[in-house]
Amino acid sequence: MRVKTAGLTTLATVPALLLATACTSGDDGRPAKDTDTPASTATATATSAGTGTDTGKGGGGGSDASAPLNGPQLERAALATGDLAGFQVSSGKSALAPSGQPASDKPQCQPLADAMGDRPSPQADRTVSRGLGSLKNLGLAVSASLSSYSRADAGKLMAGLKSAVAACGGGFGATLDGRSGAYREVKAAAFTTRGADETVSWTTVGTNEGAVAPIHMVVVRKGATVARFMALDLALRTPPRVPQEVADKQLAKVVQVLAG
């Protein structure tokens, strides 16, 4: 299934994550490439203290959720074809999508801009991405990613997102690869993920040169592992929502891999 994004591809941060779904045609049957790159040395913008103090220096596995998952473990934990009835699953990110972390024009909103980039934040050790297209609700596109962190950095990420959602209701601008966009109406949204340690969910409306895109974001932490979801209705018919079954299934797979 190929979905046309029209003017939405000009939005600064939407392409970096969403084109993984919008510009791929169904499941190619190949595993996503683990970015497996060192965490950025950029200073984190979130100043809120994270939860948890153990850093989880090991390679993941066992019953220790504080241990970061390695590349193969992230691949096993990521959503795959057959996991969810009614969804196509595509691996990796479109070659058309920009790379990197968007820059916010308001420092307090940088965690929200980061959440739409290659990684939920620059501190991620490694990230794998998936794109999901709904076969029941045509036009609903969901990007999902799994990232490994130290336990401390995972907690700081969640604290930073909570603070940013509270501080950025009036919106913010973001720039990525020379493209600029604006995000308005940032609102906390109720969302509970079964088995999660923490969940942060919000809605926003992305705008650029007449294109308007309502977006639903969900970021979930399980120990040192962070799952991120972004939903967009490419048909622009109804406000998008990350399907509950997508988030629950992703967390269930993470728990299964953590259990060994």
Burial 183-210 (b: 16+ CB within 10 A, else e): beebeebebebeebbbbbbbbbbbbbee
- Identity (one letter) of the amino acid at 42? A
CA–CA gap between residue 256 and residue 12 (Å, rounded) = 35
Q: Which residues contact 44 (CB under 8 A, 6 or more apart)?
A: 121, 122, 123, 153, 156, 160
DSSP one-letter code for 32: P
**pLDDT value at 213 more than 80:** yes
Beta bridge partners of 228: 145, 219
Element (H, E) at 252: helix 244-258
CA distance 68 to 70: 6
The confidence band for 181, taking pLDDT boundaries of 50, 70 and 90, is: confident
Identify which has the larger pLDDT, 46 or 126: 126
pLDDT value, residue 212: 83
Instruction: Indicate whether 221 pLDDT > 70.
Output: yes
Least confident of 50-59, 75-84, 124-133, 197-206: 50-59
Higher pLDDT, 79 or 26: 79
For 143-156, the pLDDT digits (tens) are: 999 999 999 999 99
Tell me the pLDDT tens digit for each residue of 154-172: 999 999 999 999 999 999 9
CA 170 to chain centre: 22
Tell me phi and psi for residue 18, to 5 degrees. -75, -30
Higher pLDDT among residues 46 and 240, named by residue: 240
pLDDT at 42: 30
> 63 falls in which pLDDT band (50, 70, 90)?
low
Considering Cα of 36, then 147, then 149, then 174, what sign does the dihedral take?
A: positive
The pLDDT of residue 96 is 53
Question: Backbone phi, then psi, for 188, in 5-degree steps?
Answer: -65, 140
- pLDDT tens per residue across span 7-60: 444 454 554 545 444 444 333 334 334 444 333 323 222 222 233 333 333 343
DSSP state of 5: -
Q: Bigger pLDDT: 211 or 203?
A: 203
Q: What is the pTM of this model?
A: 0.80
Judged by phi (left if over 0) then psi (alpha if -120 to 50, else beta), residue 141 lies in beta
Give the type of residue at 168.
C
Distance, CA of 136 to chain centre: 22
Better pLDDT: 129 or 24? 129
| pLDDT score recorded for residue 38 | 37
Q: What is the DSSP letter of 66?
A: T
Q: Where are the beta strands (DSSP E) in 122-248?
A: 126-134, 140-148, 172-176, 179-188, 198-208, 211-222, 225-233
The mean pLDDT value for 209-228 works out to: 92
Query: Has residue 128 got a pLDDT over 50?
Result: yes
Length of the chain as a residue count: 260
Mean pLDDT score of the chain: 78
What is the C-alpha to C-alpha distance for residues 23 and 197, in angstroms, rounded to an integer?
Answer: 33
Greater pLDDT, 74 or 137: 74
User: What are the DSSP E strand ranges found in 85-163?
Assistant: 87-91, 103-104, 126-134, 140-148
